[in-house]
């Protein structure tokens, strides 16, 4: 366990990746849990929910096929920031548009944009962690991510009970705005780390 912490001491940039990915994961899972309830309340049928779910997975599948090209051409920091901006815009539209078919497409897009960012963390994080401690270091990163997602999910549950399910979308928007403040490290910062 002590050796698992050594990469954090040697490369403090891992803390930024941990916080950034923790907020990203929390916003994604929160939105994913809320969107079906939201669409059902708008009158979505099980078939339409299934179509939205399939669209979400298709979007991630297509993105995974081109992610390495985007990374190579534009750099992970730029792609992650653009995906974050698209997630925020989609979250805002999902919160204000109440037509079930349009809302279904928009919520699926929001989840794709929010979830697709994960692939850009893996390569950079793994480059700072030796294979001998990789499993332990990644487990430590996941523990610290729980310090982000547990309070945020409790807040989302409280807001839902008090203000309705669409309040989750506003939390999603705020969390993603934080990711534009605490940005994905630049390529120069990654090289210097």
Mean pLDDT of 139-145: 89
Residue-level length of the chain = 193
Rounded to the nearest 5°, which phi and psi values hold at 124?
A: -70, -40
pLDDT at 173 over 80: yes
CB-based contact 189:48 (threshold 8 Å): no
Name the nearest CA neighbour of 38 among 114, 93, 115: 93
Name the nearest CA neighbour of 97 among 85, 114, 84, 110: 110
- Alpha helix (H) residue ranges in the chain: 2-10, 13-41, 46-74, 76-96, 100-116, 119-126, 134-163, 167-181, 187-192
The whole-number pLDDT of residue 148 equals 85
The whole-number pLDDT of residue 131 equals 87
Mean pLDDT of 82-110: 92
Q: For 11-34, what is each residue's pLDDT tens digit?
A: 999 999 999 989 999 999 999 889
Mean pLDDT of 157-175: 92
Distance CA 88, CA 83 (A): 9
Q: Which residue has the tokens 């390495």?
A: 68
DSSP 66-101: HHHHHHHHH-HHHHHHHHHHHHHHHHHHHHH---HH
């Amino acid at each position: 366990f002590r050796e698992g912490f050594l990469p954090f001491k040697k490369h403090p940039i891992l803390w930024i990746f941990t916080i950034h990915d923790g907020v990203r994961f929390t916003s994604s899972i929160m939105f994913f849990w809320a969107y079906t309830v939201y669409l059902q309340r708008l009158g979505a049928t099980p078939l339409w929910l299934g179509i939205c779910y399939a669209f979400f997975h298709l979007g991630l599948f297509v993105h995974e096929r081109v992610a390495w090209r985007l990374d190579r051409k534009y750099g992970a920091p730029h792609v992650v920031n653009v995906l974050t901006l698209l997630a925020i815009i989609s979250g805002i539209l999902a919160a204000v548009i109440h037509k079930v078919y349009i809302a279904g497409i928009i919520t699926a897009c929001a989840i794709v944009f929010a979830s697709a960012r994960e692939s850009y963390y893996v390569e950079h994080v793994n480059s700072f962690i030796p294979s001998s401690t990789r499993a332990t270091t990644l487990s430590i990163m996941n523990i610290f991510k729980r310090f982000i997602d547990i309070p945020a999910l409790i807040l989302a549950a409280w807001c839902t009970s008090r203000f309705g399910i669409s309040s989750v979308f506003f939390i999603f928007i705020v969390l993603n705005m934080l990711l534009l403040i605490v940005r994905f490290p630049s390529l120069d910062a990654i090289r210097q780390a």
